[in-house]
Structure 1
């Protein structure tokens, strides 16, 4: 069984080589507004993009959606760029979202072990790329493209090239991620984003929430799924709009209902009169809702809510539930975004 070592961790952290070039694509030089980004911060370089009344700031570390403003009003639960932040705020989660139970999984007949970074639950949480800096490919007034090459690791011996584009238009902000297997063998893969929408008041309890999901994941005391159950009639039933109220969630959902465009839409009618929507394309078949009940800093509890677009279920590396297998040369592409309704 391969195990994670400090040497492997250092190799991963050093892996910010130009992904597109290694994937056989020429790399464009940063151009347009902002060049290669703003000043260096605790979250890497900052890339500001804007269109009309929409403005967003992307941080290079973890390709983080650090800020989304509409008419100058911050829509996200965010943190200063010179602070690391907590709770994975805004981060792009790769190459797996959520947890791997005991950090151990089997792929291609080989048992593999990744680092346990959530000791109290004996789990490997949120992948390998939450604290690495992506490199700029292109930066224009209304969009930025970043990339990162993830080298093989003892616990994840696969080579993937990632490219992400953030863009704003008159309606909102969107993110498109491409993941290409540039290695010699098949690779397991999943992704999520961990952006928190601000409460629009003191607490999220007053948000009128609509979540188009038919089922939720039942979990054990370590938040590892043991099965699914219908949401109908439970505290997790937000199929029709209603206030979040005191309900606490660190809960995954599936069975998403979609519109004619193939997208599923989550709605947040905030107490300040703003209605925001999170939309996810068909590549995102799962949503993880976290009501931020126990922040680890002095930040007030329930000041924001994250609904994480996920391509697979929690513990998918063990169960295979929604797991994507990328063959050599194969590319996965998925898009999600936030917008203002109305």
Structure 2
């Protein structure tokens, strides 16, 4: 039996959006604000899975779009003094985090993306958005490479699927550094509270961070609570978290699972195993939402002396394509 889907353009509050529908699922993507997938909902079960800005918060959201929906970070997180050298080329980004003196989160989560296509097939509704950097693009002054990032989002009976590609269109090797600052509601269900939730996360080691929130290259022992991330789980707001971990796998998969124990419902965030790192941030431990962030590379990776393979620092050669997928879906908990 084929479920009817929809793909169309309409507003998300006062911002142009591409909307997808499939069965009881609904999603919205904002091409003018970083191709942010700003909403993922289950209408039948009244679930609001991602943190969405309210209508009156849209101006503040556009000014700082990193803590709603699924923002694209390229390069992700912090870079010391906004500087690094890669493949003999020196890069200088603006210092945009005054308290640490670092550059934070790159340029793509605030940029305008193109809507390449959207449609419905017999098995899914989908949309494809892209951004191409050429010498005429304002981002080129910071990342002097010709490349295209493409995002394909689709809704189906299997939930929300994200497929991301980075294609080096130029003639020189470039650093491929990417993450997603995914903001997940806890609670995501009407009638539940934050106390009804626990999560697990496939982590291995915790990176030691210095006073500027940059990795020292050393690991820290996991606390007893952090060890529960890999076993029985713990509440997303057990403590204030702005922590950086190496990723691990569970049954060959790299993922976060968030369980609503009142409903017996589990949200699975199954990300690709190429994401060698996790960031996890929970807004100072305030209940409402938290951000389990799959990240390809170590924070400040080009300035690290550790091997590129260990820290996920990918060299994308001319003509080459890097790609990965992630999926959000629900199962009985």
Q: CA RMSD in A?
A: 2.3
In structure 2, the CA distance between the partners of 1:164 and 1:222, relative to structure 1 (3 Å rule), is same
Asked if the contact 1:205/1:243 (under 8 Å) is kept, the reply is no
Partner of 1:308: 293
List runs of 5+ in structure 2 lacking aligned partners.
none
Q: Deviations over 1:150-174 (max 9, x none)?
A: 2353332112111110011113112
Partner of 1:12: none
1:68 and 2:55 equivalent? Answer: no
1: CA distance between counterparts of 2:289 and 2:261? 13
Asked if the contact 2:134/2:147 (under 8 Å) is kept, the reply is yes
Greater share of residues in strand: 2
Q: Deviations over 1:154-207 (max 9, x none)?
A: 332112111110011113112111110111101011111112111117864552
TM-score normalised over the length of structure 2? 0.83
The worse-fitting range, judged by mean Cα deviation, of 332-341 and 74-83 is: 74-83
Asked if the contact 1:90/1:193 (under 8 Å) is kept, the reply is no
Question: What does 1:1-342 align with in structure 2 at a 5 Å threshold?
Answer: 33-35=6-8, 37-39=9-11, 43=15, 45-60=16-31, 61-70=33-42, 71=44, 72-80=46-54, 82-85=58-61, 86=64, 87-141=66-120, 142-152=125-135, 153-200=140-187, 204=194, 206-229=196-219, 232-237=222-227, 238-244=229-235, 245-259=237-251, 262-273=252-263, 274-293=265-284, 301-319=286-304, 320=308, 321-342=311-332
- Extract structure 1 runs of 4+ deviating beyond 3 A: 32-35, 39-43, 80-84, 201-206, 230-235
In structure 2, the CA distance between the partners of 1:56 and 1:272, relative to structure 1 (3 Å rule), is farther
TM-score normalised over the length of structure 1? 0.81
Q: Deviations over 1:104-137 (max 9, x none)?
A: 1011223221111111111111111121111111
Q: CA deviation at 1:33?
A: 4.7
List runs of 5+ in structure 1 lacking aligned partners.
1-31, 295-300
Asked if the contact 1:287/1:307 (under 8 Å) is kept, the reply is yes
Partner of 1:9: none
In structure 2, the CA distance between the partners of 1:91 and 1:110, relative to structure 1 (3 Å rule), is same
